[in-house]
Amino acid sequence: MTSATAPAEFRQDIKVLGLISTGHLLSHYYYLTLPPLFVFINADLDLSFTELGVMMTLLYGVAGVVQVPVGFLVDRVGARIVLTGGLLIMSVGFGLVGLAPALGQGLMTLGLPFDPTYGIILAFLTMAAAGHSVFHPADYAILNSSINPQRMARAFSIHTFSGHLGSAIAPATILFLAGLTNWKVALMIAGALGVVTMFAMTSQWNSLHDDVLPGKKKSDGKGGETNGGNSQAGIRLLLSRPMLLFFLFFAALTMMSSGVHSFLVVGLVGLEVAPLELAGTALSAYLFASAAGILLGGEISDRTERHDLVAMVAFVITAAVMLSVVWARPGAVVLIAVMILAGLVQGIIRPARDMMVRAASPKGSTGKVFGFVSAGIAAGGAISPTVFGLFMDAGNPAWVFYLMAIFMGIALFSVAMPKPRHQ
């Protein structure tokens, strides 16, 4: 590469990464716009908190199920059209939730004998969740083929970090918008942001590449197809041992992180390791360290090919930290310190995780592979809260931390099993 082309290529990588990461930020942002508005929706529509909870379950459930077929679609028609279409569908779906009460009232004035508003909201959220399902399969397919391989792990880390940033800014911004207007207008404004981003992304299509030529079948040199055209071969790939292990890997990581997010505070208080304020501080320290670890992990993963070792060391450290909470009952300073350590290594895992999946993905199968293993995130997120909650209800807060260590052991097993590398 000449000195003249290097800066141009770097600027191209930055543009691609900026576009893809902005979409990923919005995908996380939208999922955390609804919970802060629950108090307003509850008062306005007289929905129970169980009904509000069903809305979130629907979002995660639909997106998790749809991700796998979307992955096949990405490998068949290309990631650009799937990504921009999904972003539009997701943004419009969330924006239309703000119109649901007006639509419901309109239908009732036409003689409908019941208020259909809740059903309309669920329909729009189903639409939004289907749009949301495109991001992991399409994003990774584009990044994999558009970014210089020497910067790939850092690109993955920034992509992941952007999602965390979207989650972090959602509550404050949506409540600010709701305060200026109301919850319905706030959702419509948020939806409009996604539509604008979609148009910006579409205008830069020529900068977004993937390893699929739409409408053409490319040979992999072994008599197979690399563009996702062979569905049976794709299903065999996803049901192969390496991919099932990656699915388990993603599920175990999510069960661990879900346990931290939802039950670390109550677990620390239940064990009498920390009062509520200190427990909340420990969780915040973990989350900030995790975000920093994602960026650090990108640097580390671009400097080594032993991503499995990076992940395994992180798993051991995290498990040791969680067990130490039960066995050593650390004081305030030590508790914060070990939570920072655990958060840091959990962040470092993320780019290493993505690079391992990339290495095991045959050319032309990036979309379906990332769609499948990312469905493990939905599975882990669906299972984990119930499991942790059962132990807390049984009066066993120590098992919050034992479960976290066990999930790290499962993740360690899934990574330690050998997996092929595809060029």
* Residues 117, 263 within the same domain: no
Task: Point out the domain boundary residue: 162, 189, 204.
Answer: 204
pLDDT at position 6 is 65
Residue 219: inside a domain: no
* Residues 294, 200 within the same domain: no
Total domain count, the chain:
2
What confidence tier does 237 reach under pLDDT thresholds 50, 70, 90? confident
Residue 327: inside a domain: yes
What is the extent of the structural domain holding 101?
Answer: 14-204
Query: Nearest 5°: phi and psi at 230?
Result: -95, 95
- According to DSSP, residue 233 is labeled H
Distance between CA atoms of residues 335 and 181, nearest Å: 42
Average pLDDT of the chain?
Answer: 84
* Residues 192, 262 within the same domain: no
User: Averaged over 225-237, what is the pLDDT?
Assistant: 65
**pLDDT score of 18 more than 90:** no
* Residues 346, 279 within the same domain: yes
Residue 213: inside a domain: no
* Residues 251, 359 within the same domain: yes
**Range of lowest pLDDT (69-78, 189-198, 410-419):** 410-419
Q: Is 219 helix (H, G, I), strand (E, B) or coil?
A: strand
* Residues 261, 395 within the same domain: yes
Residue 224: inside a domain: no
What does the pLDDT look like over 129-159, one tens digit per residue?
Answer: 999 989 888 888 888 888 888 888 888 888 8
pLDDT at position 341 is 96
User: Averaged over 1-28, what is the pLDDT?
Assistant: 78
Residue 315, token pair as written in the block: 């798993």
Residue 58: inside a domain: yes
* Residues 49, 176 within the same domain: yes
Residue 8: inside a domain: no
* Residues 147, 291 within the same domain: no
pLDDT at position 183 is 93
pLDDT at position 322 is 95
pLDDT at position 216 is 44
What does the pLDDT look like over 206-224, one tens digit per residue?
Answer: 777 766 644 444 444 444 4
* Residues 147, 60 within the same domain: yes
**Extended beta strands in 243-310, E state:** none
Residue 369, token pair as written in the block: 């592979």
What does the pLDDT look like over 315-335, one tens digit per residue?
Answer: 999 999 999 999 999 999 999
What confidence tier does 77 reach under pLDDT thresholds 50, 70, 90? confident
Nearest to 319 by CA among 408, 410, 413, 412: 408
* Residues 389, 343 within the same domain: yes
What does the pLDDT look like over 82-131, one tens digit per residue?
Answer: 889 999 999 999 999 999 999 999 888 888 788 899 999 999 999 999 99
* Angstrom distances, CA of residue 125 to CA of 381, 392, 409: 18, 31, 35
* Residues 158, 236 within the same domain: no
**pLDDT score of 422 more than 60:** no
Distance between CA atoms of residues 412 and 313, nearest Å: 9
Distance between CA atoms of residues 166 and 95, nearest Å: 17
Q: Is-contact 124 93, C-beta < 8 A?
A: yes
Note the maximum CA span of the chain: 72
Q: Which residue has the higher pLDDT, 362 or 217?
A: 362
pTM: 0.80
* Residues 190, 140 within the same domain: yes
Residue 423: inside a domain: no
What does the pLDDT look like over 248-269, one tens digit per residue?
Answer: 999 999 889 888 877 888 889 8
* Range with the largest mean pLDDT of 162-176, 206-220, 229-243, 361-375: 162-176
Residue 98: inside a domain: yes
CATH value at residue 57: 1.20.1250.20
Residue 382, token pair as written in the block: 């669906």
Give alpha helix (H) positions in 181-240.
183-203, 231-238
The position carrying tokens 């175990």 is: 252
- Residue 253: strand pairing partners: none
User: Taking the CB of residue 3, how many other CB atoms lie within 10 A of it?
Assistant: 6
